[in-house]
Amino acid sequence: MTSSWIILRTAGTRTLPLWRSLADAGFDTWTPRETVTRRRPRSREERTIKRAILPTFVFVAADRLTDVLEALRAPVNPHPGFSLVSHAGRVPAVAERDIAGLRSAEAEAVRAAERRLRKSHRQAFGIGQSVSVKDGAWTGLTGVIDGGDDRFARVVFGSGMSVKISTFLLIRNGVDRACSREDAAA
């Protein structure tokens, strides 16, 4: 892992293209990113997009400073337009520990996107279907579907207790009671 970074600045819309272009050219580069879901205008259709958490800034390994300077001096820059952040005539190097907060913000954004994806995942269960609860207050319990829709299900646990649970928290078990009743009748 790189121990220090230099900072490049670009237009907000060029942040990810610059990061990708430099990475494709073999640079050790990073910019904090997240995946978000947006609705298309005048439509219910949703699309997933990747965007920069910190638009305009791209971090490049400090040991590639000469290569970055060469790209800036070239008559035709092969990468989207950028400038090098400098202070008092020097190019400051940022230590890895100084961007740890950005790294944790990126990791939290990834976890939040995964939670949203799990919540948006709807599934329908049949009455009599055996299920297990994979997350939440009822984690690990096994029950039988007694009704519901694709968002919520009424689950009856062994003692006869009935609980309404979001379907994204449920997983199907291999054998359900509806089948075993039919098999028993046969």
Domain spans in the chain, listed from the N-terminal domain onward? 4-120, 130-185
Query: pLDDT value at position 135?
Result: 80
| pLDDT tens series, the chain, 186 aa | 678 999 999 999 999 999 999 999 999 999 999 888 888 888 888 888 889 999 999 999 999 999 999 999 999 989 999 999 999 999 999 999 999 999 998 999 888 877 776 666 667 788 899 999 988 888 889 999 998 887 889 999 988 889 998 888 888 886 544 444 444 444
Which residues are CB-contacts of 108 (< 8 A; sequence separation ≥ 6)?
A: none
Q: Does domain 4-120 have CATH number 3.30.310?
A: no
Interior/surface letters 24-61, b for 16+ CB within 10 angstroms, e for the rest = eeebebbbbbbeeeeeeeeeeeeeeeeebebebbbbbb
CATH no. of 130-185 = 2.30.30.30
